[in-house]
């Protein structure tokens, strides 16, 4: 599992995840992901295009961090999920808690101006 961070625009961070979001990966990913989301007051885009599997623990990670971002008046958007991961999100209605879209352009469009 890997995590990379880039500033895509002023006030917008893109976190790119790659690999499997299983329990073993989350043990080493949770702290850097949360630290990145918590650093500063910015919108967060999470690129899931290279994530092949998403365990329920990852859902908790996304929900908890989306709430942190929302409390700061910002938005966290998930995008690019592969079919198997998107199906998990749909099953648990994760899109009711945060925007989930197909592309980075759609993710950027979810951000307030």
Distances from the Cα of 57 to the Cαs of 1, 50, 69, 70, in angstroms? 14, 18, 19, 20
| 91, pLDDT greater than 90 | yes
Distances from the Cα of 10 to the Cαs of 14, 42, 65, in angstroms? 11, 8, 20
pLDDT at 62: 97
Give the domains, in start order, of the chain with CATH numbers: 2-109 (3.30.750.24)
Do 60 and 91 meet the contact criterion of CB atoms below 8 Å apart?
Answer: no
The pTM of this model reads 0.95
pLDDT band for 86, please (50, 70, 90 cuts).
very high
């Amino acid at each position: 599992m890997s995590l990379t961070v880039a500033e895509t625009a002023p006030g917008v961070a893109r976190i790119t995840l790659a690999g499997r979001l299983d329990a073993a990966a989350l043990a080493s990913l949770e702290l850097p992901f949360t630290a990145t989301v918590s650093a500063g007051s910015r919108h967060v885009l999470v690129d899931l295009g290279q994530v092949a599997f998403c365990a329920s623990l990852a859902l908790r990670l996304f929900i908890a961090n989306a709430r942190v971002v929302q409390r700061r008046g910002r938005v966290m958007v998930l995008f690019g999920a592969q079919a198997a991961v998107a199906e998990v999100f749909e099953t648990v209605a994760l899109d009711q808690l945060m925007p989930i879209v197909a592309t980075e352009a759609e993710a950027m469009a979810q951000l307030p101006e």
